[in-house]
Structure 1
Amino acid sequence: MKILFIGARLFDDVDFYLKENNIESVLTESNPNSPNLDCADFKFIVPRGMDAPLKIAKEKSVKGIIPLIGIDDPLMDVAIAKQKVEKDLNIPFIASNTFSISITSDKIKTKEFFNEFCIDTAKFQVISSEPDKLINIDNSNISNISSFDNIDFEYPVVLKQRSGQGGRDIFIAENSSEANDYMNYHDEVLCEEFIEGSEISIEVLGFKGEYLPLVPVYKGETTFEGIHPLNKVRSAPAEIEGLNNEMVRNIAYNIAKSLKSEGTIDIDFIFSKKDKKLYALEVNSRPSGTRYLTAAASGIHPLTKLIDMVQGNFDIKTVENEIKDYFALEIPIMNYSGPKKEDPQKKFTKNSWVVHGPKNYERITISGESKEKTLELARYLLGNKLDDFNLDKS
């Protein structure tokens, strides 16, 4: 079998699985300096967009297409390409559809989606200098005001733009003066109640109308500094007092089903410290930044399951029965200098680890049969450096 992959940056996450299953890979990438280009059987440097990859897919007679795109901007183009490929070439294209992307790529529409399906989400208002230009927004959430002095909830508040990822354009304002300063640089603002609590993510696999939530991942506590989760110690499954992980999975299932998502999506929540409620924040319809923790804690590598979908070997019940009950830690380490792996670099086996991320920003994800085993392995791998993270106290 021959599969086309769009995007090289994440390709090493699936390369070991392709080789194990004797699957030929065709890789397209717009950046000639991207990592992992030499891993594929066939590689093509192409212009940005979907035209060239689809042309190559036809020329190479591939049996399916998997976009490995970790950023939001191209996702609607990918969804449109999915429609075309599945209609014209009659091969699977594993990605979410235009309906799903139209909601998840717009933070305001995502909030409206949560409200429509009665999913708890942080209180919000849309503040705009030109509210008449806003479309597809419930008017009850539009405030035609020139300042933040009269918002309907207390400070601090979280200020966001419709689109963006990785904390881009997100600001926590502790008073109206700070909020109005933010408004000086933006015509429209999503103003959201700040919830003090625990940040959680969960990945959901979806294929042919069936959905499987994997393991809730704990990403640390909310802070006024807005520290990105990649710079925190993270763990899975989430161990938070008062939080029922099966409830998280059930809500994630309902969100994915209502969105009619396909492939892999990632849903972000906050579990409130004050009222012990779970609030949905946003949905990312692309490979998740928690995928290593998901794999380490559950034994399920989300991106390799996309390959199973293309091959027709994906069955929800089978995958659910394969889920392990391991404990995983992910630690930001800058540059790893510990023991080397004998197994493939991006594959988890029993009581193992994976180092990932760019040089000077590396992270290590450790998988153990129990929390004690994971901490023991972390001490072996990191030595005295582990003391900086106070993990032995957890």
Structure 2
Amino acid sequence: MKILFIGSRLYDDIDWYVRKKGIESVLTESNENAINLDLPDQVFIVPRGMDGPKQVALMQKVDAIVPLIGIDPPLIDVAHMKEEVEAEYGIPVVAANVKAVELTSNKIKTKEFYQQIGVATPDYQILNSPEELTLDLPVVLKQGEGQGGKDIKVAKTIEDVKEYFNTFDQALCERFIEGSEISIEVLGFNGEYVALPPIYKGETTLEGTHPLNKVKTGPCMVEGLDNNLVQHTAYKVAKNLGSDGIFEMDFMYSKIDNQLYAIEVNTRPNGTRYLTTATCGVNSLCELVNMAVGEFSLHNISDKLEYHYSTEIPIGNYEGPSPKEPVKSFEDNDFVVHGPEGYQRVTARANSKDELEKLVEKLM
């Protein structure tokens, strides 16, 4: 079995699994100085875009293509390449289709989609000027496109709204929800979908604290919230998108409203994937490989499910004990260190809360 992987930044997360499966790995990357280029069996440096990867896939006669892209801008090009390569050459591409990417990459279209399928989302309006504001303050101001908290502002006063419009001509204005931030991964392939355990990312703040700076835990345990509701809602969203790969969804639970609100959905690997793996034993990136080799199924996922307590802590630079090889796998480790130097995080797991606290103390 030969698989083409597109993008090297995330490849070290799955290199150990690709080797374990005996898969011949081919990788394309547009940056000749990128990390992880020493790991695959073959590497091809290609121009930006999807024409280069497509040509390499045909030249190398690969059996499947797995894009490992964790940012939004290239996803639409990947989606168009997927539809062309699958239709004309019969090579499966484990990625979202054009319809799903176009819908999820635009926050306004995503809002409309939630309403169409009957999933609750915070009240919103499209602002072309501060004077059009009708929602009660505070509100969250966003652009239609963007990720990782980019161009998002929590506006507490009308002056905050006016300040936002010093930079932007339009804004998606959303009611600020006071409550718990929740993330969940859904895996989907060939019409089968499975929602993994929800992850707790902390409480919302008027300061707009970025999730990377918060301590996160799995599984999600929020008073008044049924995790089955989160999984059912996430499954409903993915099923209606009708695409393949990883779906990462953000929700907010308001204790005041006793309501789960859908915030956004992304068709790419996400930042809580280590916590999800630590919590339930299912690695979403490895499942992309299983989709490529025809080994993904609800039954196989069910057989892998484990139940752990986990946490992810931002630490800057990790100086504790070294994990076992492979260092990005929880198969022989109870913790994984990830993230770039200066912004590293530790994700740890244990079979009880007490054991987890003791492990964290040892690692810190």
Mapping for residues 1-394 of structure 1, pairs under 5 Å: 1-128=1-128, 146-148=129-131, 151-349=133-331, 352-382=334-364
Matched letter for residue 249 of structure 2: I
Q: Distance between the aligned counterparts of 2:276 and 2:138, measured in 1?
A: 32
- SS in structure 2 opposite 1:37? coil
Matched letter for residue 37 of structure 2: L
Matched letter for residue 292 of structure 2: V
- SS in structure 1 opposite 2:38? helix
For the Cα contact (< 8 Å) 2:324–2:332, is it kept in 1?
Answer: no
Q: Deviations over 1:71-98 (max 9, x none)?
A: 0001111000000111122121000111
Matched letter for residue 380 of structure 1: K
Return closer, same or farther for 1:342/1:116 CA change in 2, 3 Å cut-off: same
Matched letter for residue 258 of structure 1: N
Task: Name the count of aligned residue pairs.
Answer: 364
Matched letter for residue 164 of structure 2: Y
Q: Distance between the aligned counterparts of 2:243 and 2:353, measured in 1?
A: 33
- Deviation of 1:368 after TM superposition, in Å, equals 1.2
- SS in structure 2 opposite 1:266? strand
Gap regions ≥5 residues in structure 2: none
TM-score normalised over the length of structure 1: 0.91
Matched letter for residue 265 of structure 2: V
- Deviation of 1:255 after TM superposition, in Å, equals 0.2
Matched letter for residue 223 of structure 2: E
Q: Distance between the aligned counterparts of 1:70 and 1:161, measured in 2?
A: 19
Which runs of structure 1 show a deviation greater than 3 angstroms over 4 or more consecutive aligned residues?
none
- Deviation of 1:176 after TM superposition, in Å, equals 1.4
For the Cα contact (< 8 Å) 2:8–2:34, is it kept in 1?
Answer: yes
For the Cα contact (< 8 Å) 1:200–1:238, is it kept in 2?
Answer: yes
For the Cα contact (< 8 Å) 1:14–1:303, is it kept in 2?
Answer: yes
Q: Deviations over 1:40-98 (max 9, x none)?
A: 11011111000000000011111100110010001111000000111122121000111
For the Cα contact (< 8 Å) 1:5–1:67, is it kept in 2?
Answer: yes
Matched letter for residue 147 of structure 1: P
Residue 392 of structure 1 is matched in structure 2 by none
Matched letter for residue 337 of structure 2: V
Q: Distance between the aligned counterparts of 1:318 and 1:358, measured in 2?
A: 33
Bigger Cα displacement from structure 2, 342-351 vs 213-222: 342-351
Q: Deviations over 1:193-224 (max 9, x none)?
A: 00011100000000001100001000111112
Q: Distance between the aligned counterparts of 2:349 and 2:160, measured in 1?
A: 42
Matched letter for residue 136 of structure 2: E
Matched letter for residue 337 of structure 1: E
Q: Deviations over 1:278-333 (max 9, x none)?
A: 10000011001110001000100000001111111111122123211111100001
Q: Distance between the aligned counterparts of 1:230 and 1:24, measured in 2?
A: 34
Identity of aligned residues (%): 51
- Deviation of 1:350 after TM superposition, in Å, equals 6.2
TM-score normalised over the length of structure 2: 0.98
Matched letter for residue 40 of structure 1: P
Q: Distance between the aligned counterparts of 2:354 and 2:347, measured in 1?
A: 15
Matched letter for residue 235 of structure 2: Y
